Amino acid sequence: MDDQMREKGAHIAVMLEELYPETPIPLNHTDTYTLLVAVVLSAQCTDERVNQVTPRLFSMAATPWEMVNLTVEQIQDIIRPCGLSPTKSKAIWGLSKILIEKYKGEVPNTFEDLESLPGVGHKTASVVMSQAFGVPAFPVDTHIHRLALRWGLSEGKSVTRVESDLKSIFPEDQWNKLHLRIIFYGREYCPARQHMISKCPICFLYGLK
């Protein structure tokens, strides 16, 4: 990645920090386990919808032991509004069982172990590693993928390529906060549809569409 691209990235990072000095985790949770479940639920679903569903789920099952005491069908009924409920309910029940049997009920703190759990891909593992354990990671969701291409920070068609490009542009100690700031910015200023350049500071500055 050339110096010009890094300079552009550094300027964008400063603007994002000014707009979002605080980076609260968008998914409501009480510990690492409930964060993991919430992130699994967030696949192809908005954080807002997940936050509407998880209070009921966690009131019944906020630990792996409580979760496996529910049936997959009970979990599915609760999480139905999040979409993909048949797959997600099996994954949540299955990963809870594995956490009990293999990790004494604790969520593991390595990418390899997390990605071995049902329903946990690299993006989900990256969110948990960054937000629960403070390990530098750059989870790429639809907002980040869209903005990275729109801002010319990557030409990657795949999430893997975009993640690699962004990691090469931004210093590692910025990754955890920066990925949240880009998400916040995408939602507030730079949506996929009805994007208004005059109200989008970064795109306006760089003359982007």
Catalytic residues: 123, 141
In whole angstroms, what is the distance from residue 186 CA to residue 180 CA? 10
Give me the long-range contacts of 118-121 (CB less than 8 A, separation at least 24).
118/90, 118/91, 118/94, 119/40, 119/43, 119/87, 119/88, 119/90, 119/91, 119/92, 119/94, 119/95, 120/36, 120/40, 120/91, 120/95
Q: Yes or no: say if 54 and 82 are a contact pair by the CB < 8 Å rule.
A: no
